[in-house]
Structure 1
Amino acid sequence: MYIEQLELENFRNYKRIKTSFSKNINIIYGENAQGKTNIIEALFLCAAGRSHRTSKDRELININSSRFKVKLIVIDNSKKKEIEYSYESGKKQILINEIPIKRMAELMGNLLAVIFSPEDILIVKEGPSLRRRFMDITISQLKPSYFYNLQQYNKILNQRNNLLKEAQEKKSLLDTLDIWDEKIAWVGAEIIIERKKFIERLCKISKKKHYNLTDNCEELDIKYKTFLDEIDVENKESVKNKFVEEILKNRRTELKRCVTIAGPHRDDFDIIVNGLPLKNFGSQGQQRTAVLSLKLSEIDIIKDETDEYPILLLDDVMSELDNKRKSYLFNNLKNMQTFITSTEKDYFKEFQYISFYKVKCGEIINS
């Protein structure tokens, strides 16, 4: 799988461009604030259905316009596929081969992508929401049904929370709470099982990669944290029943606080190096290396699951890595289309199969 062509219209600082890419390594270089990251953002948007920088599509519109469009031509198993993402008047539209999709889950898997940017260190340093997002983006690309379950879970969660609030004034609504408990537990069990399986695979692969990256000095471990003590990934009924039991235990507290206490919306995972939590005890360099291990493992998981390499998007990360980690990263780029943004061009000249694209003031020049 690789991206053959990109077309942008009124996207960020680009008014209208169309450019073709190499199926190997593409270096997007230029001075700061010229639009390099905007290219990465547009590509990722068509893979994940959302920007990695903002949750608001209106922020992607060129300042002199009221709409934007991103269009990709993707080659997948020698067949051309067209993905178009547009936004106008508060509404987004996504077309696959000129046919509008009815729900976002239909986009998932059409373009497999892994993104690595300096902000990804926040996966280690910040709160659980970023770690849940990391899990959800990867699993959703592999299993569109998982993305659909996430959407359904959030809808049910909001409806259940509203019910808890409204029941303060109208006690008769409590009679319907058991129905919502069953709904949220069924969908939540699906999410928990998929996350558990993903983290187990991620831990196994990233442990080896991190060991190599650190000259066999650091052992990386990843532990999934959810509200259930034991999870049988082969028995959804059991997970669902335990979910319901936990809900019933929390009933009195939930009615006081008017919020759903237990569920995958509070999941997290610990990143541990040599037995210590990396968030609390790791240096900046250790945290960055751990994230690199996670991202490289993400590539392997996608390849194992789909028998295809994802598109790799590296946004200004080369300046964050030392020479050893740069070399290790480049050794992992074989057979995979890669986009790298950088202010420097000379560093990449020694490598083979590289195409250069200079970005200046919202224009791309293939050099």
Structure 2
Amino acid sequence: MRISQLTLRQFRNYPKAHFQFSPGTNVIVGQNANGKTNLIEAIYLLSVAKSFRTRINTEMVMFDTSFAKIEGDVDAHSRHYHLEMVLSQEGKRAKVNGHEMTKSSDFVGIINVVVFTPDDLFLIKGSPRERRRFMDIELSKLSNSYLYHFNQFSHLLKERNLYLKSEKIDPVYLDVLTSQLVDEQLILIARRESFVSKLNVEAQKAYARIASQKESMTVTYQSGFDLTASDLRQSLMHTYAHDRERDIRFGMTHHGIHKDDLMIALNEREAHLYASQGQQRSIVLALKIALLQLIYDEIGEYPILLLDDVLSELDDRRKTMLLDLLNDKIQTFITTTSLEGLSHQVISRAYKIEIRNRKESR
């Protein structure tokens, strides 16, 4: 899985720029605020159709312009793709090989990327919403079917919540909405359980290589439903029947996968409460390494790895562990303000791009 070139127009601080990349390691060097992270963000957008920095499209559009455009040539799944994305106040438009995509599920995941940034400690310290978002994005990249069913669930949840606020409730219609909501959740729960189980196995292996032998980490899926029930559909319907009066009274759906969480633990204790800052960084690094292997096992190709200014945040041991992953099988992008933190081995084989005065120079 490779991206060979990228063209930006009116994206962030780039009026117009064109980049060509190596299929191996690419090191993007430049001072802060010159646009290194913007370049990484553009590649990420071509994978997920979302930014890892903002949920507001217009923040990515250059000031005093009406739209931003990203184009990239990629090779994935033994095919070549030309991907385009336009961001504006009206929303996003995506094209694949010149054909406009009407559904996000037809665009997301054509290329798969794993991004690692200093802000990724939110996976430990952040709210359940952040961990759900992590889980849903990774699953959507692996399966457009997951993204389709997730969008269906989101639409039904919104419709049910609106109906719960109605002055007059028809119990038959509410049951129909609830039944449809349950059916979508059964699909999504099964996918989430499988994903987290595989992630847990790979993360434990990675953490054992990074940290002390006396420490162990686990990742488990937490649901508000009883997932051990012999008839899960019946169990979910019973939960909603029990909650009906409360849901109507508050005008919202109290149970559902929109309340799920990932429990990340160190030595069987909640990491956000008991793990040190260094241990938390090791856990996040283990999760990212686990994703690389999990994605390879699922689709037969390694994803593109984006390392945005993380080397300065890691101690020598963790940095070495991460850099040892770099090989010809994984196309990697590293942003840094200086080459000093990189080994001679990495620098000698890397393709270097210097970002200076908001332009590319070599």
Q: TM-score, normalised by structure 2?
A: 0.96
* Shift in Å, 1:89: 4.5
Aligned residues: 359
SS at match of 1:122: helix
Report how far residue 333 of structure 1 moved.
Answer: 2.1
- Measure how far apart 1:228 and its partner are: 1.9
Which residue number in structure 2 is paired with residue 209 of structure 1? 206
Could you tell me which amino acid in structure 1 is paired with residue 335 of structure 2? T
Equivalent of residue 194 in structure 1, options 187, 191, 216: 191
Structure 1 residue 361 displacement after superposition: 2.5
Partner Cα distance (1:19, 1:137) in 2? 26
Q: 2:253 aligns with which of 252, 260, 281?
A: 260
Verify the 8 A CA contact 1:185 1:241 in the aligned structure 2. no
- Measure, in 1, the Cα distance between the counterparts of 2:99 and 2:273: 48
SS at structure 2 position matched to 1:313: strand
Show the counterpart of 1:158. Answer: 158
Q: Is the 8 A contact 2:153 2:184 kept in 1?
A: yes
Deviation at 1:215, TM superposition (A): 3.1
| Counterpart for residue 315 of structure 2 | 322
1:346 aligns with 2:344: no
Q: Is the 8 A contact 2:312 2:341 kept in 1?
A: no
Match of 2:173 among 176, 183, 194: 176
Counterpart of 2:159 in 1: which secondary structure?
helix
**Structure 2 residue 33 is matched with structure 1 residue 40:** no
SS of aligned partner of 2:165: helix
Is the 2:311–2:341 contact (alpha carbons within 8 Å) kept by the matching residues of 1?
no
CA apart distance, 1:92: 1.8
Match of 2:286 among 272, 293, 301: 293
Q: 1:239 to 1:362 in 2, by over 3 A?
A: farther
Amino acid at match of 1:216: Q
**CA distance 1:362–1:265, shift in 2 (3 Å):** same
Partners of 1:218 and 1:111 in 2: CA distance: 34
Comparing 223-232 and 39-48, the one that deviates more: 223-232
2:359 corresponds to 1:359: no
SS in 1 for 2:345: coil
Give the residue type in structure 2 aligned to 1:355.
Y
Q: CA deviation at 1:349?
A: 5.2
Equivalent position amino acid for 1:156 in 2: L
Structure 1 residue 347 displacement after superposition: 2.9
- The 2-side partners of 1:89 and 1:195 are apart by 33
Counterpart CA distance in 2 for 1:102 and 1:327 is 43
Measured in 1, the distance between the counterparts of 2:356 and 2:214 equals 43
Gap regions ≥5 residues in structure 1: none
Letter in 1 for 2:118: P
Once structures 1 and 2 are overlaid, which stretch shifts more, 346-355 or 209-218? 346-355
Distance in 2 (CA, whole Å) between partners of 1:77 and 1:42 is: 21
**1:296-349 residue CA offsets vs partner (Å, 9 max, x unmatched):** 101111000000000001111001111111111111122100001111113335
Letter in 1 for 2:331: Q
Deviation at 1:87, TM superposition (A): 2.1
Query: 2:301 matched to which residue of 1?
Result: 308
Alignment of 1:83-98 (within 5 A): 83-98=83-98
Contiguous gaps of at least 5 residues in structure 2 = none
User: Is contact 1:278–1:287 with CA below 8 Å preserved after alignment?
Assistant: yes
C-alpha distance 196-345 of structure 1, shift in aligned 2 (>3 A): same
Matched position secondary structure for 1:303: helix
Amino acid at match of 1:342: T
1:193, 1:231 within 8 Å by CA — same for their partners in 2?
A: no
| 1:49 shift after superposition | 0.8
